[in-house]
Every structure is written in C-alpha cells, then in structure tokens.
C-alpha cells in the first residue's frame, strides 16, 4: 500500500514550479502541495535573518497540511536556511536543492572545475562550494551571482535579445575558467537553459538542480516506503497556495510548470507570519 499523503514544495515565488515539474515527470503518482511566497519574493537579495524566518514560516504552513516530505525548492533558502529548517522539522524528511545539484556536478566533472550561478544570497553563502568540497576538496568552484535572470524570466523575456545579452554579460568570464559543469543554482534558471547553453557552449554541461532534487525525493520515498501507489497522471498540483496574485501570474506559472495551473488559493502573508 502506498503513502498517498502529498509532498510539500515551497519557494519564494513561482520558480519552484520547475522542481514540481521534475517530480511529476519522475513520479506521476505523487501529489504536491505547492506554496509560493509571491508577496515577499525575491528572497535572493534579503538578509540571512529574513531568509531563515521566511523559510521556516513557509515550512510550517505546509507541515500543518499533513505532508510526507518537505522540499525547499528555493536555492536561496536551501543555501542559507536548510540546517535551520532541519532543526525545527523533526517528523518528516526535509530536502533542499543544493546537495542534489552539488552531488550531480561532482560526479560529472572530469576537469574538477565547476561553475555555480544563483542569486546574490546563494553565491554569498558559498553553499554549493561547501557541499562540493566536502565531497571532493580538490574541485575548484567558481560562483557568479546573476541577479537579472529572475526578473527576466518573470517578465517572460525568455527568448529575447535582452536575455541573451544578460547571459553573455554574466557568463563570458566563466567560459575562460576551464569549467566543465555549470550548476543552475536558482529555480528560474532552467527556463533560460537554451540561452545559457548558447553562451557557454556545448563543452560545458549544465546541471539543473530541479532534476536532481526530484531524483533525491524519489530515493527517499522509496527508502522510507512512502511512495504513492497510484498514478495521478501527473502535472496537477493538489493545492497551489500563493501569498499574492500578480498580474502576469498565469503565463509565468505555466511556463515554469510546463502545464496548465489548477485552482489557486491566495493566503494572507499574515497567516505565514503567525507561524514563527
């Protein structure tokens, strides 16, 4: 018999839908409750203290909904606040996106030179470098914050000259560093995969953390006998909670999830603030 309880996935906004998409692709039987803190996005330029508080509030909201696994889909929360979450969440497994991405890159890098791109907070935290070097201290890790990528995706400017120029601006130095893997350390970046690959060339392998966190979730559910038994056909969120409904919400959400979006429930940000 399977465990039909949902997986809780949260992010600072809509970007974590790229993680939900990979979970559905890999495990079409699983149900997901998604929480996007769209009222307070971005987290990537906030202080460590705020990111920890927001992350824990998001987690608490989902924990009240009888979930079997909690995924911090946000790279910024995973980088700055994962151990803080782990201290407070004892009953179910908690996973972030940093370790799965770091493990994947470490196993694939032959040159032992890995690039990481993400928000300012993610790169400042050194989270990917710490994870990679705890697996292999001989690997050189080069981080680069790319703060314009999130607003470009949110504006729907995915296949555009301005995006290609921004990608070029941030990444031209990376190419000369001899890296052979580049971790897309932010929820929104998989959407820019084509532009990024175009800028860095095919010699550099892009590592999509979303894909690897879905694989990790699958392993944990199997190991704890908590996988769902049925097949829901995938790509339907059981619940889709947001703290604000922004005007271009729907096209952005659909592009990130790669599917139509279900009923949206708006919750007041004050509800989250009560949680911690």
User: Annotated catalytic, 186?
Assistant: yes
Q: Which residue is nearest to ligand DGL (CB)?
A: 44
Q: Rule CB under 6 A: is residue 187 a binding residue for ligand DGL?
A: yes
Catalytic residue among 33, 69, 70, 74: 74
The rounded distance, in Å, linking the Cα atoms of 203 and 175 is: 10
- Give every CB contact of residue 195 below 8 A, 6+ residues apart in sequence: 158, 159, 163, 164, 167
Catalytic residue among 62, 129, 179, 186: 186
Q: Rule CB under 6 A: is residue 43 a binding residue for ligand DGL?
A: yes
List the one residue from 15, 36, 96, 145 that touches ligand DGL (CB under 6 A). 15
Q: Considering CB under 6 A, how many residues would be counted as binding ligand DGL?
A: 18
Positions in 188-207 near ligand DGL (CB under 6 A): 188
List the one residue from 7, 8, 10, 12 that touches ligand DGL (CB under 6 A). 12
Positions in 91-110 near ligand DGL (CB under 6 A): none
User: Annotated catalytic, 146?
Assistant: no
Tokens representing 81 are 């606040």
The phi and psi torsions of 144 (rounded to 5 degrees) equal -145, 120
The nearer residue to ligand DGL, 191 or 221, going by C-beta atoms, is 191
* Smallest separation, CB 2 to ligand DGL (Å): 30
Positions in 112-141 near ligand DGL (CB under 6 A): 118-119, 122
List the one residue from 76, 109, 125, 205 that touches ligand DGL (CB under 6 A). 76
List the one residue from 150, 204, 206, 214 that touches ligand DGL (CB under 6 A). 150
Do residues 80 and 96 make contact, with C-beta atoms less than 8 angstroms apart? no
Binding map of ligand DGL across residues 23-42, x = CB under 6 A, - = no contact: ------------------xx
- Specify the stretch interacting with ligand DGL by CB under 6 A; choose among 132-140, 181-189, 199-207, 228-236: 181-189
List the one residue from 27, 35, 74, 257 that touches ligand DGL (CB under 6 A). 74
Binding site for ligand DGL (CB under 6 A): 11-13, 15, 41-44, 74-76, 118-119, 122, 150, 186-188
Residues annotated as part of the active site: 74, 186
């Amino acid at each position: 018999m399977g465990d039909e309880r949902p997986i809780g996935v949260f992010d600072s906004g809509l970007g974590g839908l790229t993680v939900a998409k990979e979970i559905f692709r890999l495990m079409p039987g699983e149900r997901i409750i998604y929480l996007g803190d769209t009222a307070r996005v971005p987290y990537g330029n906030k202080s460590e203290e705020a990111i920890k508080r927001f992350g824990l509030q998001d987690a608490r909201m989902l924990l009240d909904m009888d979930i079997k696994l909690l995924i911090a889909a946000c790279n910024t929360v995973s980088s700055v606040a994962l151990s803080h979450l782990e201290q407070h969440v004892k009953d179910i497994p908690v996973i972030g996106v940093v370790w799965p991405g770091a493990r994947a890159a470490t196993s694939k890098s032959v040159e032992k030179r890995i690039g990481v791109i993400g928000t300012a907070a993610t790169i400042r935290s050194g989270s990917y470098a710490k994870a990679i070097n705890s697996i292999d201290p001989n690997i050189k890790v080069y981080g680069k914050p790319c703060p314009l990528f999130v607003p470009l995706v949110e504006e729907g400017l995915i296949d555009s000259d301005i995006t290609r120029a921004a990608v070029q601006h941030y990444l031209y130095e990376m190419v000369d560093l001899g890296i052979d893997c580049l971790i897309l350390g932010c929820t929104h970046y998989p959407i820019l995969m084509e532009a990024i690959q175009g800028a860095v060339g095919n010699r550099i392998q892009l590592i999509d953390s979303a894909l690897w966190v879905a694989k990790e979730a699958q392993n944990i559910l199997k190991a704890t006998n908590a996988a769902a038994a049925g097949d829901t056909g995938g790509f339907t969120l059981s619940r889709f909670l947001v703290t604000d409904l922004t005007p271009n919400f729907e096209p952005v959400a659909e592009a990130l999830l790669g599917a139509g979006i279900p009923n949206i429930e708006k919750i007041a940000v004050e509800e989250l603030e009560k949680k911690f």
